[in-house]
Amino acid sequence: MGKLLKQSFWSTIIIYIGVILGFINSIILFPKFLSTEQIGLVRQVLSASIMLVPLTTFGTSAAYLKFYPKFKENNDQKNQLFTLQLMIIILSCFITCSIIFLSVDYIKFYMNDNSKLLFEYFHLLYFLVIIFSLSSIFEAYLKSRYEIMLNNYVNGVSNRFLTGILLIFFSLNIIDFNIFLNLQILIYLLGLIILIIYSQKKERIFLVLNIRKIKKSIKKILNFCCFSFLGNFSHILVLNIDILMVTSILGLSDTGIYTTAFYIGMIIDIPRRAISQISLPFISENIQKKNFKIIEDNYREISINQMMIGILLFNLIIVNLDNIYYLMPNSEKFISGKSVVGIIALSKIIIMSFSYNSEIISLSKYYRFTVLLIMILAIFTIGLNLILIPKFGMIGAAYSSLFAVLVFNIIKFIFLKIKMGISPFNYKTLLLAIIGILIYNLTVFIPNFKNPIIDIMINSFIISIIYLCLIINFKISPKFNSIFYNLIKLNR
């Protein structure tokens, strides 16, 4: 667990550096130098590319993580497993990109007239999909070896930093918007190259076309890939369909407003990402060894700690939301998305509270259940968006996302309780929820100051101190209390 905690800690630090860079890009540079339509175009191209990755990877990343513990003691078997996964990705990329190329006219037909700019840059989609797909297998390669820091650095820090530099170049008229968009390919390609070089340095990769040493397991691997592909695609669809449908129904300008608000609410989810990534190999190994008690203890501990962090961040964002929008350049163009922030933030707290229930099911013998459930939910979410977005606009998309997340996690919780007898909750979960509601209601009594920066600092300080005192006094997280008191002793 030492490496697990170390990787989680440093990955969280790296992710938060990425959040700061993302905040600068999304809340300051994008609104200042790009129109809402241009922002919507950038977000839609990236979102569409991410949505296609499950098709082009065909479940290989999850399969690699699941089967790696079985082959990790044999170098030949490890390399043959990697080669098989890479071959699947190359074939899937070719098939998917070919189908998209032949279907462009049909896609145009279903898009809003305000979204036609998307098709002027449709070529970016092919390049990004291929880069993201190849990156996924090297990310899985590193995750299986409990290495996630570089993945987070590439995805959260270097990509955003370089995008910020390009935005500054754009603002100085050194490059135009066309060059800015096309250079995104080079940014993500650089990330892929870094992952490949580090993977080779970590443990040399040999491509082996003869995969006879894993021949007996190929049927199981491909079977898992099929179910994982269906589950991953449906899951990505549920998480990203709102952006695609806002573009399709409302147009790129509304997408720019929606995704800016979405980013603010998404900040809450940052700690969960690092924990989820490093937990995958941990879950896989312990399921292989049938150490279910270890999994349950970790499952519950992560739930309470993630929920604790999520509630604090939720209250800090809500109490400072007016100030955040006030400080945003050209905020009058984006203010209509303010109501979206709280809804998205609440959905992220729900995900964090239920801990890594998806990962447990997906890596267990019950992985087919998740696939079936998420496919049904994906169809339901699309239907819900079709009803709510035309009627309520961006708010409808946000509520659709919240409802999908809540239903999905409740069903998974019930399933795990019945099949494995494990739960991420105890009486402290309810106590923490009450504390969170109390803090939320206290925010209305905090006085407002004329200076938004001072207002943010004072609001954040008051909320954090009250919240910290309550969770320590009620011993919500014994581990947190232990760390807190140890820090006090060190400073004496």
pLDDT tens digits, one per residue of 332-389: 888 888 999 999 999 999 988 988 887 788 777 887 787 777 778 778 888 888 899 8
Question: What per-residue string of b and e applies to 360-381 under the rule 16 or more CB within 10 Å gives b?
Answer: bbbbbeebebbbebbbebbebb
Q: What percent of the chain has pLDDT over 70?
A: 92
Q: Which amino acid is at 218?
A: I
> Using CA atoms, how far apart are residues 478 and 365, in angstroms rounded to an integer?
32
Residue predicted with more confidence, 41 or 466: 466
Q: What is the mean pLDDT of residues 395-415?
A: 89
Residue 1 — pLDDT band, cuts 50, 70, 90? very low
Cα separation values, 57 from 131, 132, 133, 490, Å = 11, 9, 6, 48
Residue 113 has pLDDT above 70, yes or no: no
Pick from 450, 452, 435, 376: nearest CA to 411: 376
Assess contact for 57 and 96: CB atoms under 8 A: no
Least confident of 10-14, 52-56, 290-294: 10-14
Residue 244 has pLDDT above 70, yes or no: yes
pLDDT of residue 4: 55
Q: What percent of the chain has pLDDT over 90?
A: 19
pLDDT mean across residues, the chain: 83
Residue predicted with more confidence, 226 or 350: 350
Q: What is the mean pLDDT of residues 155-159?
A: 84
Residue 152 has pLDDT above 70, yes or no: yes
Residue 430 has pLDDT above 90, yes or no: yes
Chain-centroid distance, C-alpha 425: 23
Residue 444 has pLDDT above 90, yes or no: no
Spell out the SS3 assignment of the chain. Answer: CHHHHHHHHHHHHHHHHHHHHHHHHHHHHHHHHCCHHHHHHHHHHHHHHHHHHHHHHCCHHHHHHHHHHHHCCCHHHHHHHHHHHHHHHHHHHHHHHHHHHHHHHHHHHCCCHHHHHHHHHCHHHHHHHHHHHHHHHHHHHHHCCCCCHHHHHHHHHHHHHHHHHHHHHHHCCCCCHHHHHHHHHHHHHHHHHHHHHHHHHHCCCCCCCCCHHHHHHHHHHHHHHHHHHHHHHHHHHHHHHHHHHHHHHCCHHHHHHHHHHHHHHHHHHHHHHHHHHHHHHHHHHHHHCCCHHHHHHHHHHHHHHHHHHHHHHHHHHHHCHHHHHHHCCCHHHCHHHHHHHHHHHHHHHHHHHCCCHHHHHHCCCCHHHHHHHHHHHHHHHHHHHHHHHHHHCHHHHHHHHHHHHHHHHHHHHHHHHHHCCCCCCCHHHHHHHHHHHHHHHHHHHCCCCCCHHHHHHHHHHHHHHHHHHHHHHCCCCHHHHHHHHHHHHHCC
pLDDT tens digits, one per residue of 372-381: 777 787 788 8
Residue 165 — pLDDT band, cuts 50, 70, 90? very high
Residue 97 has pLDDT above 90, yes or no: no
> Using CA atoms, how far apart are residues 483 and 481, in angstroms rounded to an integer?
5
Residue in the block written with tokens 């200042």:
32
pLDDT of residue 317: 92
Residue 301 has pLDDT above 80, yes or no: yes
Residue 432 has pLDDT above 90, yes or no: yes
pLDDT of residue 316: 92
> Which of 293-297, 413-417, 478-482 has the largest mean confidence?
413-417
Can you give the pTM of this predicted structure?
Answer: 0.76
Residue 274 — pLDDT band, cuts 50, 70, 90? low
Residue 259 — pLDDT band, cuts 50, 70, 90? confident
